């Protein structure tokens, strides 16, 4: 005697396999599109990396300059204090 649910199960299984196959195709297409987007954006990424490095370099040099100016003004102020009261 044949299983009464076998035909229905076979139809459902066929639908599952068909939908899984379609899903796999869509995922492959999506991966392909993402690879194209990544290739197209590689120039933007390079520009963003350069801008970030430039900003960090500017910040470093600005801090170094401010520190050097503060140090030189501190030396100049000390020298002025010593020299201003020494008029004879």
Per-position DSSP letters for 3-56, written without gaps between them: -TTHHHHHHHHHHHHHHHHHHHHHHHHHHHHHHHHHHHTHHHHHHHHHHHHHHH
In this predicted model, which residue has the larger pLDDT, 58 or 3? 58
Rounded CA-CA distance 30/32 in Å is 5
Kindly state the average pLDDT of the residues 8-36: 97
How large is the average pLDDT for residues 15-43? 97
Tell me how far apart the alpha carbons of residues 29 and 43 are, in angstroms, rounded to a whole number: 23
**How far apart, in whole angstroms, are the C-alpha atoms of residue 12 and residue 7?**
9
Q: Is the pLDDT of residue 58 over 70?
A: yes
Q: What is the pLDDT of residue 78?
A: 61
Give me the mean pLDDT over the 36-63 stretch.
95
* pLDDT > 90 in the chain, percent: 62
pLDDT at position 4 is 76
């Amino acid at each position: 005697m044949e299983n009464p649910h076998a035909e229905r199960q076979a139809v459902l299984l066929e639908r599952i396999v068909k939908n899984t196959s379609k899903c796999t195709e869509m995922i492959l297409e999506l991966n392909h599109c993402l690879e194209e987007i990544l290739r197209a954006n590689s120039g933007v990424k390079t520009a963003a990396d350069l801008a970030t490095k430039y900003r960090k370099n500017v910040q470093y040099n600005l801090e170094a300059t401010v520190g050097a100016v503060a140090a030189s003004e501190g030396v100049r102020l000390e020298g002025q204090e010593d020299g201003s009261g020494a008029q004879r």
